[in-house]
């Protein structure tokens, strides 16, 4: 929707982009001035505001986890302060101590995403170990009398996010600079209130995590049920540093990872069990196609689904991007129909969801649209692809060491067990029930976080 407004010349600051002067942003200072608490800028309450830099991708600066320093990027952080150290990059200690010494992290440092899809995300680094950041993150080292958890909570509040939304530049790849980060205002109640707010939020996060753990247990039991119904064993081989492969078993790949005994166990289970009627997935596929690459995002238009929007069994729309492009202008046949399978192919690869209705959503080039033949149960396929049966095969067939990806050919070569239809339907029925129970727990956790944030905003009067 087109917005038209005027401002006085005296109100024009260093920025000339119209978005910066929208009415909701101009009213921000009134809300600070009306508060019973004092406020200061991040620059005034911190001793350091700094971003890192990024060594050349795949270059000599990177090393394995055992010999390296955690290198945290904007996509690695979240409001729960949880970083998956198994999925991040690592840099050499000499890079950490020399060219990137200015962006070394300390426990309690505030992290703010400056660019890209996660712009405006805020976290606190709570690990004792050394770490570093790339240029897409700001490190804010707060003064000792300020609770970093409180500042994080404030920046994630409506008033905090309004400020971040104001200063980010509405271009193809939105960004914020460090000077603008330093100019963000923070309401500062007494430290006792800051600590109390941090405790409230911590308790809410803890309860949410407990509910998610129960939900995860339910999801895990779903896989046990799947293997029980298919009458196959879940491969549980220990990781082996050395193993022998016969020359007759060598295929087109020469990397040792491809021949791990764990993969061979799964293939043996699938092939040798005649009741499974195991087929090459390609024989059940009518068509498979990549989506389209598009970077010019808009506030209106069609939903543009990226890898981050594809979750097991669902499409997540909370952070979906939009593209202002008529669907009739898209020449590529990537429309989504009920029963299509969406499968992520790059980065977080091998995540599948079955489309439940015809959609006008557009998928990115890093997602496959798989259209199956009419005589196979689409929901059953979705379940198998998201199980260890799919995951182990995806892991085996991926290409690329740093950011794995899947090819169309590797998808067609997947082994798919196709048991009698009554077994498929029994699996789907049990999965539907357990998914409902799991979803209920997750929704309860999300509701608690929402209610706690509202309670905190009432305390702050924002």
Count of beta carbons in the 10 Å neighbourhood of residue 384:
22
pLDDT digits (tens, 9 = 90+) for 309-318: 999 999 999 8
Tokens of 176: 């914020």
Short-list 299, 386, 320, 306, CA closest to 350: 386
Q: In the chain, pLDDT over 70 holds for what percent of residues?
A: 93
Tokens of 10: 């005296």
Give dist(CA 448, CA 202) in Å, integer: 12
Please give the chain's pLDDT, 462 residues, in tens: 557 767 777 777 777 777 787 888 878 888 999 999 999 999 999 999 999 998 987 789 999 999 999 999 999 999 999 999 988 999 999 999 999 999 999 999 999 999 987 899 999 999 999 999 999 999 999 999 999 999 999 999 999 999 999 998 877 678 899 999 999 999 999 999 999 999 999 999 999 999 999 998 998 888 889 999 999 887 665 555 555 555 556 566 656 666 676 778 888 888 888 889 999 999 999 999 999 998 888 888 999 999 999 999 999 998 899 998 877 778 788 889 999 999 999 989 999 999 999 998 999 999 999 999 988 999 999 999 999 999 999 998 888 766 789 999 999 999 999 999 999 999 999 999 999 999 999 999 999 999 999 999 999 988
In this prediction, residue 113 carries a pLDDT of 95
In this prediction, residue 144 carries a pLDDT of 94
Tokens of 130: 């050394």
- What are the structural domain ranges in the chain? 9-188, 214-423
pLDDT digits (tens, 9 = 90+) for 52-78: 998 987 789 999 999 999 999 999 999
> Does residue 392 sit in helix, strand or coil?
helix
Give dist(CA 461, CA 169) in Å, integer: 28
CATH class as words, domain 214-423: alpha beta
In this prediction, residue 296 carries a pLDDT of 85
Q: One fold for both 9-188 and 214-423?
A: yes
Give dist(CA 411, CA 413) in Å, integer: 5
In this prediction, residue 359 carries a pLDDT of 93
CA 378 from centroid of its chain's CA atoms: 25
In this prediction, residue 36 carries a pLDDT of 94
Bridge partners for 49 per DSSP = 140
Concatenate the DSSP letters of all residues of 418-434 into one string: ---HHHHHHHHHHHHHH
Percent helix / strand / coil, the chain, rounded to 5:
40, 20, 40
CATH for the 9-188 domain, from 3.40.50.300, 3.30.1300.10, 3.90.220.20, 2.40.50.140: 3.90.220.20
H or E element at residue 315: strand 314-315
Q: Report whether 63 contacts 125 (CB < 8 A).
A: no
pLDDT digits (tens, 9 = 90+) for 346-404: 989 999 999 999 998 999 999 999 999 988 999 999 999 999 999 999 998 888 766 78
In this prediction, residue 250 carries a pLDDT of 59
Q: Which residue has the tokens 């389209």?
A: 292
In this prediction, residue 374 carries a pLDDT of 87
Concatenate the DSSP letters of all residues of 62-117 into one string: B--GGGSEEEE-GGG--TT----TTSSEEE-HHHHHTTTGGG---TT-EEEE-BGG
In this prediction, residue 239 carries a pLDDT of 56
H or E element at residue 450: helix 421-460
């Amino acid at each position: 929707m087109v917005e038209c407004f005027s401002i006085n010349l005296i109100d024009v600051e260093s920025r000339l982009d119209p978005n910066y002067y929208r009415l909701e942003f101009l009213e921000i200072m009134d809300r600070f001035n009306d508060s019973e608490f004092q406020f200061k800028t991040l620059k005034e309450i911190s001793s350091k505001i700094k971003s890192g830099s990024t060594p050349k991708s795949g270059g000599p600066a990177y090393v394995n986890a055992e010999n390296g320093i955690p290198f945290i990027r904007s996509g690695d952080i979240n409001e729960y302060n949880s970083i998956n150290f198994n999925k991040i990059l690592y840099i050499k200690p000499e890079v950490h101590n020399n060219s990137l010494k200015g962006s070394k992290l300390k426990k309690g440092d505030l992290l703010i995403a400056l660019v890209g899809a996660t712009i405006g995300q805020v976290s606190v680094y709570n690990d004792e170990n050394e770490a570093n950041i790339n240029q897409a993150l700001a490190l804010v080292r707060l003064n000792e009398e300020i609770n970093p958890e409180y500042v994080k909570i404030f920046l994630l509040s409506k008033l905090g996010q309004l400020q971040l939304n104001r200063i980010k530049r509405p271009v193809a790849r939105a960004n914020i600079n460090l000077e603008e980060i330093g100019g963000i205002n923070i309401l500062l109640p007494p430290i006792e209130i800051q600590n109390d707010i941090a405790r409230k939020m911590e308790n809410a996060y803890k309860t949410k995590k407990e509910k998610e753990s129960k939900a995860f247990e339910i999801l895990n039991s779903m896989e046990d049920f799947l293997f029980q119904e298919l009458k196959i064993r879940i491969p549980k081989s220990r990781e082996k540093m050395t193993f022998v492969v016969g020359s007759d078993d060598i295929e087109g790949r020469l990397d040792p990872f491809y021949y791990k005994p764990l993969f061979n166990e799964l293939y043996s289970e699938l092939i040798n069990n005649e009741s499974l009627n195991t087929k090459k997935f390609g024989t059940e596929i009518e068509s498979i196609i990549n989506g389209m690459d598009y970077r010019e995002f808009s506030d209106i238009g069609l939903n543009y689904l990226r890898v981050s929007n594809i979750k097991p069994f669902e499409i997540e729309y909370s952070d979906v991007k939009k593209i202002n492009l008529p669907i009739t202008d898209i020449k590529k046949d990537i429309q989504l129909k009920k029963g299509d399978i969406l499968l992520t192919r790059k980065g977080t690869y091998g995540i599948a969801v079955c489309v439940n209705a015809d959609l006008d959503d557009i998928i990115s080039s890093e997602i496959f649209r798989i259209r199956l033949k009419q005589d196979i149960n689409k929901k059953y396929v979705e379940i198998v692809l998201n199980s260890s049966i799919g995951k182990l095969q995806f892991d085996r067939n991926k290409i690329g060491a740093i950011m794995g990806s899947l090819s169309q050919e590797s998808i067609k070569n997947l082994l798919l067990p196709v048991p009698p239809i009554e077994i498929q339907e029994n699996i789907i029925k049990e999965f539907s029930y357990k998914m409902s129970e799991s979803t209920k727990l997750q929704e309860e956790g999300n509701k608690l976080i929402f209610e706690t944030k509202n309670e905190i905003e009432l305390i702050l009067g924002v």
